[in-house]
């Protein structure tokens, strides 16, 4: 067999550059590039390989290792998991900085390839700079921390191991059911070692992503359950979007009248103003979705993993004889809630259901009730958008202004704080992909790099990153990356003086916003002094961004128009009243207050908690 003598770093890059995937006859280059920060652990290995192959695999210079994985995840999510990035780091802190974002990618089922440098395989020079020594094993390094947050993990201690590890990595990265973070730990010395690699390893390869159809017996059983149901409800999860199944879902709903509630990952599966669209479901859901969930006798989960926010901590579905049918490519999710599992691609399963249910419809009253809930919720959204809260605007009003500016082609990107709950309820998603929330891990700091990834994946769309002051202070560095690459997004930075979401939760649990507000140390020794002010506009300006300060709602509307006309990334700073909240609708979240406490508000919160927890259910 013909061979090529390459270093491990060079061979790795050559392999990545040759990988493609195909679905429905359309091919995609799987790796759009490689993000990296170099140190002694990867500079001469993977770094040299990227330099040598720079015409075949573009390199992107990131500023923070966690952020570059968030960027890769944002890109892959916006690409419906058909394309992604590789991320390389040095050993030690460079590697471990990626762990948080790796967990987010795996939890959200998003493919990213992580290539952390590792300690010398020869062990001769150990301990090297940044090496964690273990008295129990010389095989252990900090990269073992990636094991529980990776779908596939391997350490390449010999050059020839790369030949079998790379196809396994691609198998997982392109799997609709098992994808997530894939980690290949690369010892510093091995990266630079040469080997005679088999030439076929570097040939162009296309990984075909096939749409698995439903088992006929399972489909027939699901159809029987649906036909027998009086109050069926569809819960649309991220699998609908990743499968590009929105048209199939809409067609099924229009034909049958079954209404739809959307998870965070599934929001945008149906257009916000479709009469069967109930909007967000669960803890951050709308009243219509949550009322119809409570009364549903059959729940049809499509591509959802039923997180606690979707199920309202197992209190959402209260019908005494409720049954579940789960359409999912992943058997782990398909069997949840003692459901009838229909293991299939979401689009294939929905098309099969529509054909099998031809001529059947829900009762007229059920269809009409869903349409009424839809129109009533539209009026409630408009009420929040038109609130005219003073002197500072409410967060809902700010969302309304961004929503109006985004229009048909806009994408909102968010991840953490009080914004996700309000966005889930209020954002009017017009097209699939218009709502991009990282809410499986809800990782502060995702917003900026995630938005950059979305813009790289969909350059024709206007991308708005919405984030609070807490997320900004954690990770604003990737503004420099966006400016370097000429990536234009609009960042709406909301100053609400602290961690508003957790502050509200703390208050609700009787703890009075303890440790959530930006205040100076007071004379009493506590964080009770005057509010700590940060000049976020100056901060963003110092990084090179175009900055617009918008203290009032009218200023924000003008700023959004100016940002669209700007030639580079724009940061719009604004301030809200953190107490002007949207609130919850017909739902509950299990966060246990202290069972015993000297504080009366905590004791009162515990009593309310016990009453609410009594509604939690097991499903058999």
Q: What is the mean pLDDT of residues 226-241?
A: 98
**Two structure tokens written together for 194:** 């040469």
Confidence band of 22 (pLDDT split at 50, 70, 90): very high
pLDDT band at 538 (very low <50, low <70, confident <90, very high): very high
Lowest mean pLDDT segment, chosen from 12-21, 131-140, 282-291, 309-318: 131-140
Q: What is the pLDDT of residue 507?
A: 83
Confidence band for 1, pLDDT divided at 50, 70 and 90: confident
Per-residue pLDDT band for 497 (boundaries 50, 70, 90) equals confident
pLDDT confidence of residue 453: 98
Closest CA to 406 of 207, 272, 287, 296: 272
pLDDT(500) > 80: no
What average pLDDT does the chain have? 96
Residue 54 CB contacts under 8 Å (≥ 6 apart), including other chains: none
Query: What mean pLDDT do residues 222-241 have?
Result: 98
pLDDT value for 372: 98
Q: What is the mean pLDDT of residues 359-364?
A: 97
Residue in this structure with the two tokens 């029987």, named with its chain if needed: 224
* 157, 158, 160, 161 alpha-carbon torsion, rounded to 10°: -20
pLDDT of residue 368: 98
At 572 the three-state DSSP class reads: strand
Residue 504 is predicted with a pLDDT of: 82
- Residues 60-78: what's their mean pLDDT? 97
Q: How confident is the model at residue 46 (pLDDT cuts 50, 70, 90)?
A: very high
Say which residues have a Cβ less than 8 Å from residue 168's Cβ, sequence separation at least 6: 152, 154
**What average pLDDT does range 210-222 have in this prediction?**
97
Q: What is the biggest distance separating any 2 CA atoms in the chain, rounded to whole angstroms?
A: 78
Q: How many CB atoms within 10 Å of residue 383?
A: 10
Residue 501 has pLDDT above 80, yes or no: no
Written as one string, the DSSP assignment of 391-455 is: SSPPHHHHHHHHHHHHTTTEEEEE-SSSHHHHHHHH----STTSEEE--SS--TT-HHHHHHHHH
Domains, the chain: 3-208 (3.40.50.970), 216-376 (3.40.50.1220), 386-497+532-575 (3.40.50.970)
Residue 618, pLDDT score: 94
* 12-19 average pLDDT score: 98
pLDDT band, residue 350 (cuts 50/70/90): very high
Q: What percent of the chain has pLDDT over 70?
A: 100
Q: What tens digit of pLDDT does each residue of 383-412 get?
A: 999 998 989 999 999 999 999 999 999 999
pLDDT at 300 over 90: yes
Q: Is the pLDDT of residue 610 over 80?
A: yes
Task: Answer yes or no: are the C-beta atoms of 167 and 155 closer than 8 Å.
Answer: no
Task: Give the ranges where 440-592 is alpha helix by DSSP (H).
Answer: 447-457, 469-474, 478-485, 500-508, 536-542, 553-565
What are 440's two structure tokens? 């499986």
Residue with tokens 């006798």: 297
Model pLDDT, residue 527? 86
Strands 410-414 and 260-262 come out as unpaired
- What is the mean predicted confidence (pLDDT) over 200-214? 97
pLDDT at 410: 97
pLDDT at 64: 96
pLDDT surpassing 80 at residue 334: yes
Separation between Cα atoms, residue 125 and residue 460, nearest integer Å: 51
Within 10 angstroms of residue 114's Cβ, the number of other Cβ atoms is 29
Tokens 């073992």 sit on residue? 144
pLDDT for 508 equals: 82
Tokens of 344: 């299939």
Structure tokens of 564?
């669209």
Each residue's pLDDT tens digit, 539-584: 999 999 999 999 999 999 999 999 999 999 999 999 999 888 898 9
Q: What is the mean pLDDT of residues 463-469?
A: 96
Residue 515: per-residue pLDDT: 82
Contact at 8 Å (CB) between 77 and 109? Answer: no
pLDDT at 183: 98
Region 583-605: mean pLDDT is: 93
Higher-scoring residue by pLDDT: 102, 620: 102
Rounded alpha-carbon distances, angstroms, from residue 430 to 116, 287, 404, 433: 39, 20, 11, 9
């Amino acid at each position: 067999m013909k061979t090529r003598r390459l270093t491990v770093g060079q061979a790795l890059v050559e392999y990545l550059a040759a990988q493609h995937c195909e679905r429905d006859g359309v091919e995609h280059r799987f790796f759009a590039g490689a993000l990296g920060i170099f140190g002694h652990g990867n500079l001469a290995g993977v770094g040299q390989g990227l330099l040598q192959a720079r015409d075949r695999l573009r390199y992107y210079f990131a500023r923070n290792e966690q952020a570059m994985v968030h960027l890769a995840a944002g890109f892959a999510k916006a690409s419906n998991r058909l394309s992604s990035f590789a991320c390389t780091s040095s050993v030690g802190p460079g590697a471990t900085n990626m762990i948080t974002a790796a967990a987010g990618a795996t939890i959200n089922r998003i493919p990213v390839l992580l290539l952390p440098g590792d300690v010398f395989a020869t062990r001769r020079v150990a301990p090297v700079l940044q090496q964690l020594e273990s008295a129990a094993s010389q095989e252990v390094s900090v990269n073992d921390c990636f094991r529980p947050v990776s779908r596939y993990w391997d350490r390449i201690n010999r050059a020839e191991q790369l030949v079998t590890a790379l196809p396994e990595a691609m198998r997982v990265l392109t799997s609709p059911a098992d994808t997530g973070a894939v980690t290949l730990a690369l010892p510093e010395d091995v990266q630079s070692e040469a080997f005679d690699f088999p030439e076929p390893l570097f040939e162009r390869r296309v990984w075909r992503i096939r749409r698995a159809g439903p088992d006929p017996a399972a489909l027939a059983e699901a159809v029987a359950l649906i036909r027998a149901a009086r109050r069926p409800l569809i819960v649309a999860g991220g699998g609908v979007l990743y499968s590009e199944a929105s048209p199939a879902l809409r067609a099924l709903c229009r034909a049958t009248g079954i209404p739809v509630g959307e998870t965070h990952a599934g929001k945008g599966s149906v257009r916000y103003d479709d009469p069967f669209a109930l909007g967000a479901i669960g803890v951050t859901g709308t009243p219509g979705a949550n009322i119809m969930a409570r009364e549903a006798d059959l729940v049809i989960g499509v591509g959802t993993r039923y997180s606690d926010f979707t199920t309202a901590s197992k209190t959402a579905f209260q019908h005494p004889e409720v049954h579940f049918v789960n359409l999912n490519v992943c058997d782990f999710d398909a069997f949840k809630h003692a459901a009838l599992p229909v293991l299939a691609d979401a689009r294939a399963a929905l098309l099969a259901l529509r054909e099998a249910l031809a001529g059947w419809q829900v009762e007229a009253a059920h269809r009409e009730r869903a349409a009424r809930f839809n129109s009533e919720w539209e009026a409630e959204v408009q009420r929040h958008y038109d609130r005219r809260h003073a002197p500072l605007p409410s967060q809902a009003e700010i969302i309304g202004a961004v929503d109006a500016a985004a229009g048909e082609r806009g994408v909102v990107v968010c991840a953490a704080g009080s914004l996700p709950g309000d966005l889930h309820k209020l954002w009017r998603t017009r097209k699939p992909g218009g709502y991009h929330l990282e809410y499986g891990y809800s990782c502060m700091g995702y917003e900026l790099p995630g938005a950059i990834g979305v813009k790289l994946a969909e350059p024709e769309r206007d991308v708005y990153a919405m984030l609070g002051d807490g997320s900004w202070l954690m990770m604003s560095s990737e503004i420099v990356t966006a400016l370097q690459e000429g990536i234009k997004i609009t960042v709406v930075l909301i100053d609400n003086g602290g961690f508003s979401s957790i502050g509200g939760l703390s208050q609700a649990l009787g703890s009075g916003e303890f440790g959530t507000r930006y205040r100076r140390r007071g004379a009493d020794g506590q964080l009770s002094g005057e509010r700590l002010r940060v000049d976020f506009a100056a901060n963003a300006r110092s990084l090179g961004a175009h900055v617009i300060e918008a203290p009032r709602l009218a200023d924000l509307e003008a700023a959004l128009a100016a940002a669209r006309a700007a030639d580079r990334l724009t940061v719009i700073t604004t301030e809200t009243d953190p107490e002007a909240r949207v609130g919850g609708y017909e739902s509950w979240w299990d966060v246990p207050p202290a069972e015993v406490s000297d504080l009366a508000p905590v004791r009162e919160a515990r009593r309310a908690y016990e009453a609410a927890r009594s509604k939690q259910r097991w499903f058999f």
